[in-house]
Amino acid sequence: MSADVVAIIGFGFHGPNLRRILFDELCALPHTTIFATLFDPDEDAVGALANRPSVRKFSLQAHQFVPEFLRRLQAGSLDDWRSGPGFVI
């Protein structure tokens, strides 16, 4: 709960899973930015992410998202991802 950046990789964003990781509580933290990939997404799962301001980027394709996320994290340049649109293909 004290992290500035949370990366959730290959996760099914469905009700029981969201409760397990305290997703509502994470999203309510003013200092936390969430980046995520979705596993087996449905409309409700995408909606759970799209309507959360703290979720800055999410992707349906982890194999493209993860290397770029790690590259940016290592370079210390996540700021542009924090301020841009929330959905990445």
Phi, psi of 47 (to 5 degrees): -65, -35
Which carries the bigger pLDDT value, residue 73 or residue 25? Answer: 25
In a domain, 89, yes or no: no
pLDDT per position as a tens digit, 16-39? 888 999 999 998 998 888 888 877
Question: What residues contact 84, with CB distance under 8 A and at least 6 apart?
Answer: 56, 57
In a domain, 18, yes or no: yes
In a domain, 36, yes or no: yes
pTM (predicted TM-score): 0.73
Domain containing 19 equals 5-84
Q: Report how many domains make up the chain.
A: 1
In a domain, 58, yes or no: yes
In a domain, 23, yes or no: yes
Q: Cα–Cα–Cα angle for 57, 48, 51, nearest 5°?
A: 65
